[in-house]
Amino acid sequence: MNVIVIGSGAREHALCRLISKSYLCDQLYCFPGNYGISRIATCRNISDIEVIIEECKSIKPDLVVIGPENYLSENLAGKLRELGLNVFGPNELGARLESSKEFMKKFCKNHDIPTAKSESFNNIEDAKNYLDLNDRPIVVKYDGLAAGKGVFVCNNKQEAINACEKIFIQKVFNQNENTIIIEECLEGKEISYFTITDGKDFMNFGSAQDYKRIGEGDTGPNTGGMGTVSPAPILDKNLEDKIIDEIVQKTINGLQKDMIDFQGVIFFGIMVDKFNQPYLLEYNTRFGDPEIQSISMRLKSDFLQLIHATSTKNLSFANLEFYQNKKAICLILASKGYPENYPKDTHIKNLNEFENSENFYIFHAATRIQNNQILANGGRVLSIVSLKETYAECRDEIFEVAEKIDWEFKYYRKDIGANY
Ligand code: AMP
Ligand code: GLY
């Protein structure tokens, strides 16, 4: 099979690794990819949607896998399907589960899926009137895609008003017409849960715990994720059964009832309260980054066969198996200063000393090569992943490597996977 992966992050590197090791894979392309990905796939510096479509027309791949959410919300999947191509990733309508919080909330209400109670507003006066009656911890969410920056968890009314002003008055998301959701603040532990569906059947694709804050002990600003542990340590059989019954199955049924045809992955962001009850915080309609970096190392069965079967609506014929007794931890190495300002094009000196294997891998998110030097050119740069029998063994390996990587501007959290 000839396969094209769209995207340029460590998530796409992890997807490319799984696809390239499949016996079904002949040619693997990644657009635009990055230096790390270029070692296992043919990368082309293409990111414009129309150019991607032209390139797909000429390559005629057996499968296109779309990594990032922005392409999905711009209906790249739908446009490629109109050309008769097999695609892993939903059309624009399915992608709305992620790209519009208002749509997600209505979907949950219509299909009885447990989530935080919410109201939506399209002007600041109504939002403020509502907040006047609700001076308690509360969450303000911008309706559209905002690269993880559209959610404001507020301790009181004033913080919530500030968030509304950012959206409606300062227009930080550059929209003329803004919609927000204000919802109750849930407390508990978060997990990321993944389900693959071809629109008829579904298979659960593992779990992870993401460390979202920049600082140790979950302090400081939110980031795209500073590390993951897979499987999620708090997920036991009882909780997983509840997640499947109350959230996953109802979502799949809801998609069918609403006639939203969906071939791809649904990533459920879930809060588990002190009574072990799961509530849906958000849907994503793509793999999580850095969740997939750790989950993918635990996969035993053939990934390409699975996603190709998904894209052709033959999921019931596919096989999905994980290494039951193995754990994986992913540690992100970021440029010092991320998620605010950080230097660009800093030199990572000894990266090629570390050999990738079935149990250890360094995925690249933002690297490029110049005069034989590997340069970091983004915020989150490397994902170091270890697969072992225990979380403690994973930790020993990733931190030893993180320490040895000779890069003056590296930053990482030292508590990823601690206490497990
Ligand atoms: P979202 O993009 O909706 O997942 O929100 C990003 C992060 O904000 C989540 O991972 C949570 O940490 C937090 N969050 C979102 N909604 C709520 C809520 N209702 N209560 C508490 N925290 C929330
Ligand atoms: N790790 C969270 C995300 O991919 O959205």
Compute the average pLDDT of residues 178-205: 95
Q: How far is the CA of 351 from the centre of ligand 1 (A)?
A: 35
Q: Which residues contact 309 (CB under 8 A, 6 or more apart)?
A: 198, 315, 317, 318
Q: How far is the CA of 281 from the centre of ligand 1 (A)?
A: 6
* pLDDT over threshold 90, residue 170: no
- Mark 63-86 as b/e (b = at least 16 C-beta within 10 Å): bbbbbbbbbbbebbbbbbbeeebb
Nearest protein CA to atom 9 of ligand 1, as residue:
281
pLDDT tens digits, 33-68:
999 999 999 999 999 999 999 999 999 999 999 999
Q: Is 146 in the pocket of ligand 1 (CB under 6 A)?
A: no
Q: How far is the CA of 89 from the centre of ligand 2 (A)?
A: 16
Query: Atom of ligand 2 at shortest distance to CA of 228?
Result: 1
Sheet hosting strand 87-88, strand order edge to edge: 42-43, 27-32, 2-7, 63-66, 87-88
**Chain mean pLDDT for the chain:** 95
Which residue did the predictor score with more confidence, 23 or 177?
A: 23
Compute the average pLDDT of residues 228-245: 97
β-pair partners for 268:
193, 283
Nearest protein CA to atom 5 of ligand 1, as residue:
151
Query: pLDDT tier at 173 (50, 70, 90 boundaries)?
Result: confident
Q: How far is the CA of 320 from the centre of ligand 2 (A)?
A: 22
C-alpha–C-alpha distance, residues 414 and 420, integer Å? 14
pLDDT tens digits, 268-286:
999 999 999 999 999 999 9
Which residue did the predictor score with more confidence, 222 or 307?
A: 307
Report the percentage of the chain scoring pLDDT > 90: 89
Q: How far is the CA of 153 from the centre of ligand 1 (A)?
A: 7
pLDDT score, position 51: 98
C-alpha–C-alpha distance, residues 251 and 194, integer Å? 12
Class of the CATH-defined domain 189-317: alpha beta
Query: pLDDT tier at 399 (50, 70, 90 boundaries)?
Result: very high
If you search the block for the tokens 């990594």, which residue do you land on?
67
C-alpha–C-alpha distance, residues 18 and 5, integer Å? 11
Domain 2-94 part of CATH 3.40.50.20:
yes
pLDDT score, position 210: 96
Enumerate residues lining ligand 2, CB below 6 A: 210, 225, 284, 288-289, 291
Asked if the peptide bond before residue 231 counts as cis, ω within 30 degrees of 0, the response is yes
Ligand nearest to the CA of 150: 1
Q: What is the H or E stretch that residue 183 is in?
A: strand 180-184
Lowest mean pLDDT among 175-184, 221-230, 299-308: 175-184
For the chain, helix, strand, coil in percent to 5 are 30, 30, 40
If you search the block for the tokens 């003056």, which residue do you land on?
408
410 Rama sector, left if φ>0, alpha if ψ -120 to 50, beta otherwise? beta
What architecture is the 117-184 domain classified under in CATH?
A: 2-Layer Sandwich (3.30)
* pLDDT over threshold 90, residue 72: yes
* pLDDT over threshold 80, residue 409: yes
* pLDDT over threshold 80, residue 175: no
Nearest protein CA to atom 2 of ligand 2, as residue:
288
Domain residue spans of the chain: 2-94, 117-184, 189-317, 327-411
Grouping H, G, I as helix, E, B as strand and the rest as coil, residue 400 is helix
C-alpha closest to that of 287 among 88, 42, 141: 88
pTM (2 decimals)? Answer: 0.96
Nearest protein CA to atom 15 of ligand 1, as residue:
281
Q: What is the DSSP letter of 245?
A: I
C-alpha–C-alpha distance, residues 153 and 47, integer Å? 33
Class of the CATH-defined domain 327-411: alpha beta
* pLDDT over threshold 90, residue 113: yes
Q: How far is the CA of 372 from the centre of ligand 2 (A)?
A: 32
Grouping H, G, I as helix, E, B as strand and the rest as coil, residue 53 is helix
* Token pair listed for 7: 């995207």
Query: Atom of ligand 1 at shortest distance to CA of 150?
Result: 2
